[in-house]
Amino acid sequence: MQGRELEDLLVSFLVLLLLFSDFSPKLIPYVTPALFTAFVLHELAHRQVARYFGYYSYYKRWDLGIALALIFGMFTKLLTGSTWVFAAVGSVYIYAPYQYWVDKRSEGIIALSGPITNIIVAILGYVLIKVISLGSWFWILYYMTKVNAWLAFFNLLPFPPLDGFKVFRWNVSYWAIVFGVSFMLYYL
């Protein structure tokens, strides 16, 4: 990971940490591992799958999205008492220097890799919560499960530039199944 990419990922992570922790310092220890599994692994999945297909890829923050996320989060916190999260703070940029057409299949699979990662982590968290006695780990796994499920659901909305738009454009059936699973997980 290059210096600029690491910086962009860190800035995006810290903004999302403020939002998902509801601007509460008490929640930061619980939300930090949840956000690492939800956000960082999601973006790394996109990057690695893109590289598997032979594309040049890297994470880049979106400064306007970061500003909008903070403003929206603060505004909703002041009005409602809880933070509504707008999570479009950056994305993995993918380039195919020698390809002059859009390969919808590889684009769809790359887009699907992030939400699938979130779904796997959410299922793992949910199973661990139900199967073993956790004590103080309960809240870490609870936030990990909820944040991953929410991020999968949000990213699968079929609107550009979200992952769901690319998956929907490639294969509506796959999109519908994964979108439905993410919705179910969020409401468990």
Q: Where are the domains of the chain?
A: 3-186
Residues 47-60, mean pLDDT to the nearest whole number: 95
Q: How far apart (Å, rounded) are the C-alpha atoms in residues 23 and 142?
A: 18
Supply the mean pLDDT for the chain.
94
pLDDT class for 16, splitting at 50, 70, 90?
Answer: very high
Does the structure show a pLDDT above 90 at 188?
no
Contact 113, 46 (CB under 8 A): yes
pLDDT at 137: 85
107 is catalytic: no
**177's tokens:** 């199944």
Q: How far apart (Å, rounded) are the C-alpha atoms in residues 42 and 29?
A: 20
